[in-house]
Chain A
Amino acid sequence: GENVEQHPSTLSVQEGDSAVIKCTYSDSASNYFPWYKQELGKRPQLIIDIRSNVGEKKDQRIAVTLNKTAKHFSLHITETQPEDSAVYFCAASGMRDDKIIFGKGTRLHILP
């Protein structure tokens, strides 16, 4: 069935450095790849998304890249700040049904 693998499960970076989170998906029919951020005790919220006809998308300090051939996509956060500390989830959808399948999440710690 459909599966989304996400790595690493935990990531600690120094404030100001960059963070990279990687995901792979199994269903080649997937064509929409959102990233959600979940702060402690709060609901997941969309931070950026990319569709399969685009290889890269950037929004200020956040960028996402997609390699459809390898079925791999990544989230890049530059100049990290304390408020970036949260759990980040990748997801894949647009498959043969309406599912949105999430990865297991990456807990990002920004160290002072």
Chain B
Amino acid sequence: DSGVTQTPKHLITATGQRVTLRCSPRSGDLSVYWYQQSLDQGLQFLIQYYNGEERAKGNILERFSAQQFPDLHSELNLSSLELGDSALYFCASSVSRGEGEAFFGQGTRLTVV
């Protein structure tokens, strides 16, 4: 167990819908990263927060947004869902900004039908 908690574990939803994925980082970790992993694909960086502030952005679609709350948990919002958004979404946390071990949650498997 990495100490990073992601909910829900699985999510099935229809095209056009909106979902929210939740991540609780390890106790004491201030950085939260979001990644998308499609079938046989690598870990695509989406966005990163440090202590509530957005610090880095990857190729995140405009239909996707995220935030980190004062208690340091983070939410990734995916709207107007398309079939191609089906993927495993990982959250990771670390103590530092961009360096040091990142601890991954178990992921949220999103299936858009």
Partners in one complex: yes
Let me know if B42 and A89 touch, CB within 8 A: yes
Let me know if A99 and B98 touch, CB within 8 A: yes
| Residues of chain B within 8 A of A51, CB atoms compared | 99
| Residues of chain B within 8 A of A32, CB atoms compared | 98-100
Residue B25 CB within 8 A of the other chain: no
Q: Is the interface of B mostly helix, strand, loop or mixed?
A: loop
Bound form: Cα–Cα A10–B92 in Å:
25
Question: What's the least CB distance linking B55 to chain A, in Å?
Answer: 4
The interface-forming segment of A14-22, A42-50, A57-65, A66-74 is: A42-50
Let me know if A45 and B104 touch, CB within 8 A: yes
**CB-nearest residue of chain B relative to A31?**
B99
Partner of B98, one of A43, A46, A49, A100: A100
Bound form: Cα–Cα A42–B104 in Å:
10
Number of A-B contacts (CB under 8 A): 62
Bound form: Cα–Cα A40–B105 in Å:
15
Let me know if A93 and B42 touch, CB within 8 A: no
A43 and B104 contact, Cβ closer than 8 Å, known pairs A98-B48, A100-B45, A104-B41 = yes
Bound form: Cα–Cα A51–B101 in Å:
12
Total interface residues in chain A, CB < 8 Å: 24
Residue B95 CB within 8 A of the other chain: no
Bound form: Cα–Cα A31–B98 in Å:
10
- Restricting to A55-107, which residues have a CB under 8 Å from any CB of B? 89, 93-95, 97-105
Let me know if B98 and A44 touch, CB within 8 A: no
Residue B86 CB within 8 A of the other chain: no
B: which residues have CB within 8 A of A? 2, 31, 33, 35, 41-43, 45, 48, 50, 55-56, 58, 90, 92, 97-102, 104-107
Listed A/B pairs (30) with beta-carbon separation below 8 Å:
A32-B98, A32-B99, A32-B100, A34-B102, A43-B2, A43-B90, A43-B106, A44-B43, A44-B90, A44-B104, A46-B101, A51-B99, A93-B98, A94-B98, A94-B99, A95-B98, A97-B48, A97-B56, A97-B98, A98-B31, A98-B48, A98-B55, A98-B97, A99-B98, A100-B33, A100-B48, A100-B98, A102-B35, A102-B42, A102-B43
